[in-house]
Amino acid sequence: MRLARLWMLAAWLGFAAPALAQTTPMPPSSAPQQQATQPGQNGGPLQVEITGGVGAPTPIAIPDMPTTAVANTPAGTTDVLGRKLAGVITDDLRNSGLFSPVAANRLRPITVPEVTAPAFDYWSTTGAQVLVEGYIRANGDGSLTVGCYLYDVYAKTELTRQGFVVPPADWRRAGHKCADMVYTRLTGEGPYFDSRVVYVSETGPKAHRIKRLAVMDQDGANHRFLTNGQSIVLTPSFAPNRQSIVYMSYIGQRPAIYIYDLGSGRQRLLVQSSHMTFAPHFSPDGRWVLFSMSIAGNTDIYRVSASGGTPQRLTNTPGINTGGSYSPDGSRIVFESDRSGVQQIYVMNADGSGQHRISFGSGRFATPVWSPKGDLIAFTHIGSTFQIGVMRPDGSGEKLLTDGWQDEGPTWSPNGRVIMFFRTTQGGSGRSDLWSVDKTGVNERRIPTPLDGSDPSWGPLRP
């Protein structure tokens, strides 16, 4: 898999607007500007204060990408790919909930020279505030080059640009990378579109459910099954290196933890134990796997080297301690415990010391997951229904984000902005689907999967 960045020019070009000649770069933030002057009276500038703006999705225009010369590739001709690329970028940005792409009938075709000299006056009539233009070119060695440019329509400036060289089979990834560039520059968040999700694909009647591991791009494309469904699989979790997946399987009727290697397609048992082991999670550096082991009705959290070996116990209290998840720096672990009588969320140091409870709201709290940004912990809140929520690592700022009948199993996007989870419908059918929601609680939407889905785990960003 080859994806090389050709060039990446200054992300901060937004200041060199022709219309805005005299501008300066951002000064250090530590310069508080106290207004000493009376508004506009002693020669100082007039003072105008604007407060509390709206938060509508940003209108964005993404015309089809022209090609330098129409050429055949294994993925199709370059002119068709140029149209599809614009479609991938459009879908990514729309699905984020933060952008409102201009309708296709208001877009007009552009030429290759126009990509670097956009018709700002035209695009401002479409209502777009920002504009994405790009081109596609077939290279002599069989690869594709995709150029991607982002413009501010009103400031009439280029905000950033990137170029990608991909094998034709990976053309969608070029689209995701372009969308990530746009998203990152405009939102200030990290990228996440070029990532994959592993989950449990389910089919069949409730009593005889066939559960298979499946992996797909975050937008549902390039879907494939990893296991054949002969054994039930649960709670997969992506490794930070994206090459392996740790999960629990009922091979031989006893649940145990396995590691699946995406490259070779092989799986191996991680923990040799006569006891039940479950709820595995990789550490951020990929060297450790946290898991739970149940011994004589008492469940504790252990860690084991990702290459196997002797597990080390981290909790040692009566009752159930499970669902461990590392903070992004690997120094702390969030987990759930019923030591107080009901399931609550606790945080401890990576060596098991300093255990303390952080959730004190009504109801029960389960399956905590630390955001890759470190600022929030997502969890399943169990009250009259199951809901997804977030709180800060100190337990403050608790907020429920979803309102389904049974929403559970949160997992974070690589940038810590979006949470994916699974929703089970009310009633006996027990059908479940994958959903995602923005961490601010907006943009709840279903992720398309060929069959039912549960237990999603969002993998890291691809390089």
Partner 1 sequence: MDRSEKTGLGVAIVGHVVLFGLLSASLLWRRPPTFSHPPMDVTLSTEAAMEAAAPVVTQHPAQSQAPEQGPPEESAEAKPAPLTKVEPQPIAPQPKPAPAPKPAEVAKPQPPKKQPAEKPKPQAAPAKAKGEEKDAKKPKERGSLLGPDFLKGITAEKSTSQAQAPRASKIGPQDIANIAGLIKRQVQPCYDLGALKGTSAMSIVTIINLKFRPDGSVSSATLVGQTGVDGSNQQYRQQIFDLSRRAVLRCSPLKGLPAELYQGGWQNIDFTFRPSDFG
Summarize as ranges the residues that interact with partner 1 (CB under 8 A).
12, 14, 17, 19-27, 29-33, 35, 39-41, 43-58, 96, 98-99, 129, 152, 154-155, 159, 186-189, 375, 440, 442
Choice between 188 and 427, CB closer to partner 1: 188
Q: How far is the CB of 281 from partner 1 (least distance, A)?
A: 25
The CB-of-427 to partner 1 minimum distance in angstroms stands at 34
The nearest distance, CB 354 to partner 1, in angstroms, is 23
- Closer residue to partner 1, CB minimum distance, 146 or 388: 388
SS3 state at 78: helix
How far the first Cα of the chain sits from its last, in Å, is 10
CB nearer to partner 1: give 46 or 207.
Answer: 46
Residues 6+ apart with CB under 8 A from 255: 234, 248, 249, 276, 277, 278
**Is the torsion defined by CA of 213, 219, 220, 221 positive or negative?**
negative
User: How many C-beta atoms lie closer than 10 Å to residue 288's C-beta?
Assistant: 18
Provide, rounded to whole angstroms, the least separation between the CB of residue 181 and partner 1: 14
- What are the start-end ranges of the E strands in 319-463? 321-326, 332-337, 344-349, 356-357, 364-370, 377-382, 386-391, 399-400, 406-412, 418-424, 432-438, 445-447, 452-461
Residue among 129 and 337 whose Cβ is closer to partner 1: 129
The residues with which 421 forms a beta bridge, in sequence order, are 435
Written as one string, the DSSP assignment of 234-261 is EEEEE-TTSSEEEEEE-GGGS-EEEEEE
Nearest distance from residue 440's CB to partner 1, in Å?
A: 4
Beta strand 130-138 with 58-61: parallel, antiparallel or unpaired? parallel
| Residue closer to partner 1 (CB basis): 49 or 141 | 49
* Nearest residue (CB) to partner 1, 127 versus 319: 127
Residue number with CB closer to partner 1 (34 or 384): 34
Taking the C-alpha atoms of residue 135 and residue 110, their distance in angstroms, rounded to an integer, is 10
CA Rg value for the chain: 25
Question: Residue 329 CB, nearest distance to partner 1 (Å)?
Answer: 14
Please report, for residues 167, 170, 284, 352, 382, the alpha-carbon distance to residue 343 in angstroms, rounded to integers and kept in the order given: 49, 44, 25, 18, 9
Tell me the C-alpha distance between 74 and 167, whole Å: 9
Q: CB of 320: closest distance to partner 1 in angstroms? A: 34
Closest to partner 1 by CB, 17 or 276: 17
Q: How far is the CB of 240 from partner 1 (least distance, A)?
A: 22
Q: How far is the CB of 149 from partner 1 (least distance, A)?
A: 16
Measured from the CB atom, the residue of 10 and 119 that comes closer to partner 1 is 10
Instruction: Give every CB contact of residue 184 below 8 A, 6+ residues apart in sequence.
Output: 190, 191
Residues near 396 by beta carbon (within 8 Å), at least 6 away in sequence: none
